[in-house]
Structure 1
């Protein structure tokens, strides 16, 4: 299967992904279709990703959620496979995931939908493919015959890699993709268990401290300068029964996203509080840009390409994947 050079830029603009750490259970929250009493806050649980948490934590700590009538409990979520069922069971109301995971879930009949975009990455050296210097891997096509780690099989990172390898003339079928959590990727790359790894912030900063490792390239920047990579989903039942709560979550996060884009030092403060990075590493972080909307055209093309890569058995409709209120042409 060949992907045209014209399709790749639009594909990357659609791709939302996440690698999520193991999650703890939480007490189920009831639907709030009747709404809280006047002056009361609506309780919701939000499952975050282990990366790119800054806007969500800012929304909580700066009072944006409370301003919009929400009493939010934050948890670090698990993989999309583990997390999306928690949304369906109403154990959590919003979960960090991406279009690729949701497209895959919807194609399997799971009633979930994206309600918010979040990260909109810009081209740069921060995120991307890292290799050992002795691996003789200098281009994406050199990954043929290699073992490449992604945080979740079939997610955005893998699709970006597959598209870039194919665009560089490589044989995608000759690459072995394996699933490794971000926290274990660096050690696996250092000890030679894998040949390459796709890192997102802050892991490139950690990899850069090892003189035996080097960055190959960022499939995002190789395809397009600016791509959405992370959003939040909810269950169809919760969306239908709680439209005001969904709107409140969107509005609170929209404020947090705007604030985060305008205040990188506020993001740095969140990194100091909630990561184990050193002060020097935090000072060197280059934060992503954030956005609320999802491209309709690009997401439809992502669906087409997932189908061509045989990552889904049937195509799904765009309106089954993304809530209408955040779609843009």
Structure 2
């Protein structure tokens, strides 16, 4: 997630996902008709974080699934999961792609009343790791207390899952110096000694292994309480969800189809990340993929607020099931 200057990845996402609707006669904000049931609006703005793990969204766009649902989807690329939620709260976007940890933290603080629309990614084995470099004083996960650990931001998945890994092993989290670093700069921070270890998702794990000789010390997505942990998903405000149930259902159907394609065609995912995220073909072939999901499961998602509560990040329990909007039946 980069700051003021628009990156090639950001520009590509904006250009590629400004999807014209096949229901052009309806206009951008007039009701559309799908299977005899009019949508509240065909114009839909989705605010996303700049990430390579948008394969289901790209797949839905390329295959025309949004257009088939009479949705004119406009994509807004924000700098962070907090920013995407802010845009939804302000009415600048309708749906936000965000990190679940940040969303439940915001819900606990009363920032807004959110409703959860669709799943996106999960930390599968080997897709998210804590890494170090040969020159670092960190050689094993037990060395983390007292060291500088690179994360994207406090309360983001990188922070929460690193703390969970340490808690599982009885390590003192209070002695860590948490250093926020944008993911594209994380490998340099390791090499330059600005951090002693870093949380990285793919493709940064694969890229940093080649560029700075990064070495994994723990597989976050494949061990302990963080195994297959829910990472990101789509959400909106309660007010917008209540006013636009049919539009949400149309979005869910399109994302579900894109997710099905991404889950069942590794080659498609590789082509999409090369095309839209500008990842090299070699990295695209070598990287471990996250888990792609569309339909939200309340029991699985409950792991997120429960973990935040256990770590003392939120003060009281949150029932995820009460926040989930109606999910597709198939």
* Same fold, TM-score > 0.5, yes or no: yes
Judged with a 3 Å threshold, the aligned counterparts in structure 2 of structure 1 residues 294 and 269 are, in CA distance, closer, same or farther, namely: same
Deviates more, 1:188-197 or 1:113-122: 113-122
Matches within 5 A, 1:224-235: 225-235=227-237
Matches within 5 A, 1:1-329: 20-22=1-3, 36-38=31-33, 42-51=42-51, 52-109=53-110, 110-124=112-126, 126-210=127-211, 212-223=213-224, 225-325=227-327
Report the RMSD for the aligned CA atoms in angstroms.
Answer: 2.6
Is the contact made by 1:22 and 1:79 (CA closer than 8 Å) also made in structure 2?
no
Q: 1:89, CA displacement in angstroms?
A: 1.7
SS in 2 for 1:135: coil
Is the contact made by 1:116 and 1:233 (CA closer than 8 Å) also made in structure 2?
yes
Aligned partners of 2:288, 2:300: CA distance in 1, in Å?
26
Deviates more, 1:208-217 or 1:262-271: 208-217
Task: Report the equivalent of 1:7.
Answer: none
Aligned partners of 1:53, 1:202: CA distance in 2, in Å?
13
Judged with a 3 Å threshold, the aligned counterparts in structure 2 of structure 1 residues 245 and 92 are, in CA distance, closer, same or farther, namely: same
Aligned partners of 2:173, 2:154: CA distance in 1, in Å?
14
Is the contact made by 1:122 and 1:226 (CA closer than 8 Å) also made in structure 2?
yes
Q: RCO higher in 1 or 2 (8 Å CA, sep ≥ 6)? A: 1
Q: 1:38, CA displacement in angstroms?
A: 4.5
Structure 1 unpaired stretches of 5+: 1-19, 27-31
TM-score with structure 1 setting the length: 0.83
SS in 2 for 1:178: strand
Aligned partners of 1:321, 1:101: CA distance in 2, in Å?
15
Deviates more, 1:226-235 or 1:198-207: 226-235
Aligned partners of 1:48, 1:301: CA distance in 2, in Å?
23
Q: 1:298, CA displacement in angstroms?
A: 4.1
SS in 1 for 2:88: helix
Judged with a 3 Å threshold, the aligned counterparts in structure 2 of structure 1 residues 322 and 49 are, in CA distance, closer, same or farther, namely: same
SS in 2 for 1:152: coil
Is the contact made by 2:99 and 2:231 (CA closer than 8 Å) also made in structure 1?
yes
Aligned partners of 1:159, 1:36: CA distance in 2, in Å?
41
Is the contact made by 1:21 and 1:77 (CA closer than 8 Å) also made in structure 2?
no
Aligned partners of 2:116, 2:139: CA distance in 1, in Å?
36
SS in 1 for 2:194: coil
Is the contact made by 1:294 and 1:326 (CA closer than 8 Å) also made in structure 2?
no
Structure 2 unpaired stretches of 5+: 7-13, 15-26
Judged with a 3 Å threshold, the aligned counterparts in structure 2 of structure 1 residues 204 and 81 are, in CA distance, closer, same or farther, namely: same
SS in 1 for 2:249: helix
Q: 1:303, CA displacement in angstroms?
A: 2.2
Judged with a 3 Å threshold, the aligned counterparts in structure 2 of structure 1 residues 295 and 153 are, in CA distance, closer, same or farther, namely: same
Aligned partners of 1:202, 1:162: CA distance in 2, in Å?
22
TM-score with structure 2 setting the length: 0.82
